[in-house]
Amino acid sequence: GDGTAGGGWSTAGGGGGGDWASGNGSSWNPSTSGQGWGWQNGYSSSGGSSSSGWGKSKGKGKSKEKGPRPPFVPFSEKKWIKSDGKEIDLHKEIMSLESAHDLIEIVGEFVCEFAVFHASAALHRLAKCQDHAEVKKDERLRWLASKATRELVKYDKQKKPQTISKIVWSVAKLDLGMHKLVARVCEEALLKLPEFEPQQLVNMMWGFATMRTDDRPMLDTVAGQFSGRVAELGHLGLSNLAWSVAKLSVRNRWLVDELSGECLAHIQDMNGQNIANCSWAFAVLRVAAVPLFDAVAKKMTAHAGEYAQQNLTNTAWAFAKVQLKRPEMMAAISAGLRERAADMPAQGLANAVWAFATLNIRDNALMEVVRGQLLPRMGRFQLQNVMNSTWAFAKLSCADAELMGQFGDEISRRIAGLAGGDLTMAAWAFATAEHNDQRVMDTLSWEIMKKLPDMIYQDLSNVVWAYAKLGINNHELFDAISFEVIKKISEFEPQNLAITAWAYASANLPKQRLFEALAEESQKKINRFDPQCCANLLHAFGKLTLANEKLVEAVGAQVVKSVDRFKTLELCNVAWGIAKMMLPASETMEAVAQAFIAKVQDMNPQDLSRTSWSFATARIKQEKLMDEISWEVMAKIDLFGNQDLSNTAWAFAKLGVSNAMMMGAIGKRMRTMVRDLIPQDLANTAWAFATLGLPDSDLMDELLAEVIAKINDFATQNLSNTAWAFAKLGLWNERLMETIAHAAVRKIRSFDAQGLANLKWSYAVLGFTSAKLSDAVLGAALDKIDAQEFGIQELANVAWSFDVTGDATRLRTFLQAAIPRFVAVDGFSDAAACTDLANIAQLHGARAAGSEKLEAEFRSRFCRPLVAALQQCADGADGRELTVAVEALEEVVKRIGLTNFGFFFVREAMSELGFKVASQGEAPPAWAKEARAMAREHMEEWRIPGTENILVVVSYEVWYQGKSLSKELTLVPSSFAEGVHDEVKAMLRPVDARGWSCESYSERVALLELLEAAREEFGDECVPELSGWVRLYHSHHTSVTGIGIFCQFRRLVPGVKIEIEFDSAWYTWAGEPRQFTALSDKEESLFYYS
């Protein structure tokens, strides 16, 4: 959308007349002869003169003399007799005539007798006549030009610069196309150049420009004569010289500098045409002479109403070309053009709106006036003007459906005449105006494919951009263009590389060869990539998840170097693209994070949301950035849309950044817009609050109702995430889980392994059973195991879910496939999954293939090393101090990664460590019955196991030097043991594989309180000498942390024996079997809920 150059329809005139004209002749090439008479043609002469032939001549070449030569008559004595017998003063007659017709008659009678001054004067006068175009085809005019040249070259001894410049200027002005003739005159001019006056040189340059001379050495020689003499020119000469220099592309820096300075000095003397000429010239030369253009703007603003529309349009075009935006001047030009719009030619209208569009100045009044002219006259416009006008309307977002519809009709009607660039501009205009006429776009695509080989790289990138912008996924067109792009990839500029990548990404077409070529070429030109190109390129590769490590490294380095120049949206796209590709780019992301921190107060809600989402997806936890974002979210919470809130909450949860204040604000805001949330946002919001452990009950109630209403639109991942979220928060709702179950059964084959496992886990946690859902999950899981799509953790979670709900039949069926698969993929690397499956296999799947290996690997990899470390901590057989033994235990625990032995193996481990515990299947001791009752009374109902819901019932009796201290069964919940001194707390150090503090575990609190009571009763030194027993009932089987506490206690107090009993809180409510809610397998209509 570059517009037509200002000189295309209005060009500057030269010395004699000063009028603008367009030179339509062919290029001046000395090897190409002009048509008509050559400069050597001879003529017969009756009067005779020193400058004319006297005999007859046939054709070209020298004439042959016949008879004696006529006597010479001086011109001062010569009588000029017309055919009617009237004697005239020839020179005076020539200079007085103003009609080209009258002049050509004189030429016809006397041309053969003309001397050089007669011929050059007549030629010059003809060129200045208003009606010279009417005699342009008269052969006598060409005779005159040939005569003037012949007389100058052959007989004129003085060869005055004025005569030479007149001939060149006149031949150019008359558009005779006699290039060889002018070339011969120029040979003479080069010999006399030092004698030329500056204005005569200007006339020569104007002639060369009008005739499109391409003799570069000669042009440079003539231009060189202006050195130090430009100041001698008046404002008209400066204007014409500027126009000529621009037309001829003479880019001598010294000349351009002198010209700009002198034009600035004479700006007040210039009229509208002069100003337009100068502006146009410097724009064509791409010289943004700001002082000159500012002076032009000032004068144009003051006098725009006095200037012709052509001058206004060309000046606007010039400012647009050099990208100098002067709103006051453009407003004045707009006012002037609106008054003259009805009389403006098509190209004038097109260039005017093109200039405003290029400068991104939307003048609604002007656009409305031009639209009024464009719609009724579009069919009569040249196609290029139609294209430029529509492009401008599209760029300024002024193109309505009526205008674009008519444009589409014109394109379809005249499409055969469109070149590749025109087709590109048309597609671009439709895309920018967001006008998708399928018929027109199909027609365009067919024509584009025909002309693809002729299209340049810019056309290719803009075409795919246009079709991608309109959402037209024309595979045939995109395929054809991809091959052309690969062939011409070396020509692509950074912007085109980025645009092309963006377009194919938007169309979701991951053409491997194309993107490899784009990546390779981008790396070569990476130093020329600006922020927008970097952002678009990374965004495109990220959107298609085409991970290209070398590209990310190259673009990342460019981002780091120029990160201060990136706009917020560009930073967002960089972070988002890298995050989607899941490639390491820590240095780049850190630089982007710092840039975000500096701009965070200027970021809008979408920017804040996308930024947090990107860093979360990339799993980069930048504490300072997330903190700054959280404050901005709270400050701008009322401006957030539902999706931005949902994504922000998801991001903070994904990174594990728990900001209760921000999440509270998000929850409060989202309660008012839950009805607008799409299924994915509903699921993500619930997931986020659940992951952070923030049960906003009011929000979850709103989400629950909306999930039920929109359940049919939920994707499988949304279903599993929603179920998981409510389970994680322990929010029990039968209607919700029944609705999700029915929807999941319908889509069960679309679930991935993680989705199936999370779904089944959620129902087990909340205590819901559904035979229909269980059958569906089992069938889908077995199919995915056969297809080798089930991961280690998913195998363990599904098995655990069947086990917890007491679904022994389906569990055994599942284990027959799950255990061999687990062993085959060497699932022993996941300590938690291996623990669950090994314990379940011991209870239910001993006959499954691979069970023996599973048990053997679990014992050798986890149980034995950990029991050995615990034993060293408990008895100190190796002689190490307790603190050293605990540190060694911590190292082993973190290396192995085990958090508990599991319900089955924990009894074996405790027994091996010397603690008294009933064997698996053995009846618990009598005291445990009372302890269980106390625990049930305290909990009131079954609760999801967690630190706050797992408790200990303890009793003990200890002796010291004949004194005793005892406690009946007492319930001890988790706490921080506020009544215990710090030095006592330091005696029992909790150790956990996850790095958690675990200081509030109820078993630790119970033993700390015992030690505190004993020290208070018997003295601080009593601990090693204590004897007796401790009984602990644990409502959930003890973790590795708890066993470590027991071992440390035994090391400190070896004389006190520990007896332990426990249940698994997932299976029982302190010994009573857990109750489950069976969901109805009959699906009800959801119409009521919607």
Q: Each residue of 164-207: pLDDT tens digit?
A: 888 888 888 888 888 888 888 888 888 888 888 888 888 888 88
pLDDT at 1 (0 to 100): 33
Q: What are the φ and ψ backbone dihedral angles of 420, each rounded to 5 degrees?
A: -55, -45
Integer Cα distance of 1060 and 911 in angstroms: 10
Q: What is the DSSP string of 704-770?
A: HHHHHHTGGG--HHHHHHHHHHHHHTT---HHHHHHHHHHHHHTGGG--HHHHHHHHHHHHHHTEE-
Integer Cα distance of 181 and 183 in angstroms: 5
Name the pLDDT band for 537 (thresholds 50, 70, 90). very high
Integer Cα distance of 719 and 758 in angstroms: 10
Given a cut of 90, whether residue 289 has pLDDT beyond it is no
Q: How far is CA 317 from CA 5, 314, 354, 374, 579, in A?
A: 8, 5, 8, 19, 44
pLDDT at 111 (0 to 100): 80
pLDDT at 356 (0 to 100): 93
pLDDT at 21 (0 to 100): 31
Integer Cα distance of 51 and 147 in angstroms: 9
Residue 792, amino acid: I
Bridge partner residues of 1030 (DSSP): 956, 1058
Bridge partner residues of 1055 (DSSP): 1027
Over residues 67-79, the pLDDT tens digits come to 555 555 555 556 6
Q: Which residues contact 436 (CB under 8 A, 6 or more apart)?
A: 430, 470, 471, 472
Over residues 729-757, the pLDDT tens digits come to 888 889 999 999 999 999 999 999 999 99
Q: What is the DSSP string of 204-249?
A: HHHHHHHTTB--HHHHHHHHHTTTTTGGGS-HHHHHHHHHHHHHTT
> 91 or 774: which carries more pLDDT confidence?
774
Given a cut of 90, whether residue 112 has pLDDT beyond it is no
Integer Cα distance of 674 and 677 in angstroms: 5
Mean pLDDT of 128-142: 86
**Nearest partner of 859 among 846, 868, 848, 847, judged by Cα:** 868
Q: How far is CA 994 from CA 795, 800, 882, in A?
A: 22, 21, 22
Mean pLDDT of 556-584: 90
- Lowest-confidence region among 30-39, 247-256, 361-370, 937-946: 30-39
Given a cut of 70, whether residue 117 has pLDDT beyond it is yes
- Share above pLDDT 90 across residues of the chain, in percent, rounded to a whole number: 43
Q: What are the φ and ψ backbone dihedral angles of 8, each rounded to 5 degrees?
A: -65, -35
Over residues 463-479, the pLDDT tens digits come to 999 999 999 988 999 99
pLDDT at 72 (0 to 100): 54
pLDDT at 968 (0 to 100): 94
How many CB atoms lie under 10 A from the CB of residue 66? 8
Over residues 224-245, the pLDDT tens digits come to 888 888 888 888 888 899 888 8
Given a cut of 70, whether residue 46 has pLDDT beyond it is no
pLDDT at 70 (0 to 100): 55
Integer Cα distance of 111 and 587 in angstroms: 84
> 328 or 164: which carries more pLDDT confidence?
328
Over residues 983-1034, the pLDDT tens digits come to 999 999 888 867 677 888 999 999 999 999 999 999 999 999 999 999 999 9
**DSSP conformational letter for 914:** T
Given a cut of 80, whether residue 816 has pLDDT beyond it is yes
Do 1063 and 928 contact (CB within 8 A), yes or no?
no
Do 953 and 934 contact (CB within 8 A), yes or no?
yes
Mean pLDDT of 323-342: 91
pLDDT at 754 (0 to 100): 92
**DSSP conformational letter for 1061:** E
Mean pLDDT of 823-841: 87
Over residues 242-259, the pLDDT tens digits come to 888 888 888 888 888 888
Q: What is the DSSP string of 357-375?
A: HHTT---HHHHHHHHHHHH
Given a cut of 60, whether residue 263 has pLDDT beyond it is yes
Bridge partner residues of 957 (DSSP): 966, 1029
pLDDT at 1010 (0 to 100): 94
Name the pLDDT band for 50 (thresholds 50, 70, 90). very low
Per the structure block, which two tokens stand in for 1044?
A: 């470590």
* Site of tokens 């363990």: 796
Name the pLDDT band for 8 (thresholds 50, 70, 90). very low
Q: How far is CA 38 from CA 165, 184, 515, 936, in A?
A: 19, 11, 60, 121
Mean pLDDT of 260-276: 90
Question: What is the average pLDDT score of the chain?
Answer: 85
Bridge partner residues of 677 (DSSP): none
pLDDT at 181 (0 to 100): 84
Do 588 and 578 contact (CB within 8 A), yes or no?
yes
Name the pLDDT band for 662 (thresholds 50, 70, 90). very high
**DSSP conformational letter for 28:** B
Mean pLDDT of 609-617: 89
Mean pLDDT of 583-600: 89
Burial of 957 (0-12, 13-18, 19+ CB in 10 A): middle
Per the structure block, which two tokens stand in for 374?
A: 């464009």
pLDDT at 1013 (0 to 100): 94
pLDDT at 89 (0 to 100): 75
Name the pLDDT band for 881 (thresholds 50, 70, 90). confident
Q: Which residues contact 223 (CB under 8 A, 6 or more apart)?
A: 205, 245, 250, 252, 255
